Amino acid sequence: MIEYILSGGTFYGYGFGTWLAIAVLILIVLGLARHFLTSGPAGH
């Protein structure tokens, strides 16, 4: 499955670039959530 995506194929109709963008977006969202959780009222 991974090899198929990396070879330039499509996955559920989306290209590798689209999934890469989605993955980056998710990482950013998780990073921001973690930042707010650790620096917000619940942290320290």
Measure the CA–CA gap between 40 and 4, rounded to whole angstroms.
42
Residue 16: inside a domain: yes
Residue 20: inside a domain: yes
Residue 28: inside a domain: yes
Residue 21: inside a domain: yes
pLDDT at 42: 59
pLDDT at 37: 85
Residue 44: inside a domain: no
Note if the pTM is more than 0.85: no
Q: What is the pLDDT of residues 2-43, one digit of tens each?
A: 666 556 566 666 677 888 889 999 999 999 998 888 876 655
Our count of domains for the chain comes to 1
Residue 6: inside a domain: yes
Which domain, by its residues, includes 22?
2-39
pLDDT at 8: 59
pLDDT at 39: 79
Residue 17: inside a domain: yes
Characterize 6-43 residue by residue with b for buried, 16 or more Cβ atoms within 10 angstroms of its Cβ, and e for exposed: eeeeeeeeeeeeeeeeeeeeeeeeeeeeeeeeeeeeee
